Amino acid sequence: MSFRFKAVAAAALSLASLATGGSAQAADLPVKAAKKAPDLPFFLVIDDRVSFSYIFTAAQPGAWSLKPDGTVNAKTAKQVYSFTHFDAWAYGTNFFTISLFKSDQNDPAGPCTSTGVIQDPLNGFATVSAKCAGASEIYGLFRSTLGWNQLFDTKAFSVGPLHNISFEAGMDANTENRYFGAAKRDVVAGLEFAFDLPYKGYFNVSPLVYWEFYNHNSFSQCGAGWDPNNPGVTCLANGNTSYKPTWAIETNYYMDLGFLPENMQYFSISGRMAWYGRKGTDTEGLPYNPANNVYNTKVEFNSEPIRLTMDASKAIWGPKYSHFVDVWVAYRYWQNKFGLDHNAPSIACSATVGGVTRPSGACTESSLYSGITVKF
């Protein structure tokens, strides 16, 4: 994002310089009066896009089924429909995205007794196959920055590859129709260090404070699997929880592949990586107690290390239509999803088959990820 703001800001400064110079020269000429320079718009950049993408082997904690050979299948495909907005103004940037994730039947919508199986009350409660609808989740994220160079009218925070330092703040939220019933709400605040890369590229690093101040966990709700007589000890009265504030580091990068031959300069690479610190127990508000299925959270690593993008509109219609239609493929890796310990013998991250409890793989996501993005 920073490279766009930098480019627009530089263009704006160039226009201002040209306008000032033109006015001074016109004042020396008796034949024509100078025209007033047009005011710059409040937003230097507004960029809106829609995307459709597909995660081939996503994972969802607590969602798994048995294969015919008795092994565990914790993979679920997800369709993703997204809207993203980016803008840059005189003092910083704003980024917002909202997505709908639609899972296949291995990640069922509630109510569903279990992934892939139900007990038939008309057949002696025998286990039979279930075809529960896949879950839907809406997730939104907002990040906003205020640049120190702009706030303090200086270039002191541009040194070598360091382009700027900014204040950063934001929020995440989600809602879903799984039995789990998550309703995440978190805020972040800290700094962003923006570095330049070759070929119009950038690399941003943001050390942040992260606070997930609200969420919901139906499995921990009193009467839904835990002792209903000990709220705050063995269960949560309404399943609602607030985690402890912790640290986070978010990074992202972008770079055109400008070293390619001119007739192949339609490609770019980008990516992101983020770490979120431990935030208490996985059912915060309840003490660590494996006998009660309460485990400590772990450092969460959420990443898309690399995305290869082809600027299809530029390839077909020319540079005037650059990045109007992008086609891309990426790799997605998410360890200790939502902070849940992928090695813990918990309901979320393990499966018991034949009396043996093993990690199910539901708390680690490793997948190919591909899609198309259209600018409007």
Do the domain assignments include residue 20? no
Distance CA 251, CA 270 (A): 11
Do the domain assignments include residue 366? yes
pLDDT at 126: 57
* Residues 8, 90 contacting (CB under 8 angstroms): no
Do the domain assignments include residue 17? no
pLDDT at 31: 44
Assign 114 to helix, strand or coil: strand
Do the domain assignments include residue 113? yes
* b/e map 73-108, b = 16+ CB within 10 Å: bbbbbbbbebebebbbbeebbbbbbbbebbbebbbb
Do the domain assignments include residue 50? yes
CATH code of residue 63: 2.40.230.20
pLDDT in tens, the chain (376 residues): 443 444 433 333 333 333 334 433 333 334 444 555 567 789 899 999 999 999 999 999 999 888 888 889 999 999 999 999 999 999 999 999 999 999 999 998 987 765 555 555 565 555 555 678 899 999 999 999 999 999 999 999 999 999 999 999 999 999 999 988 899 999 999 999 999 999 999 999 999 999 999 999 888 888 876 556 688 888 898 899 999 999 999 999 999 999 999 889 999 999 999 999 999 999 999 999 998 889 999 999 999 999 999 999 999 999 999 999 999 999 999 999 999 999 999 989 999 888 899 999 999 999 999 999 999 9
Contacts of 5 (CB under 8 A, 6+ apart): 44, 45, 88, 92, 93, 147
Do the domain assignments include residue 177? yes
- Can you state the percent helix, strand and coil of the chain, rounding each to 5? 15, 50, 35
Do the domain assignments include residue 305? yes
Domain holding 218, by residue range, is 44-375
Contacts of 42 (CB under 8 A, 6+ apart): 89, 90
Number of domains making up the chain: 1
Assign 196 to helix, strand or coil: strand
pLDDT at 129: 58
pLDDT at 326: 98
Q: How far is CA 124 from CA 118, 121, 128, 129, 173, in A?
A: 12, 6, 11, 15, 43
pLDDT at 68: 82
Distance CA 185, CA 27 (A): 58
pLDDT at 56: 98
* Six-digit token string for 91: 């003092």
Do the domain assignments include residue 95? yes
pTM of the full predicted structure? Answer: 0.85
CA angle 226, 111, 81 (to 5 degrees): 115
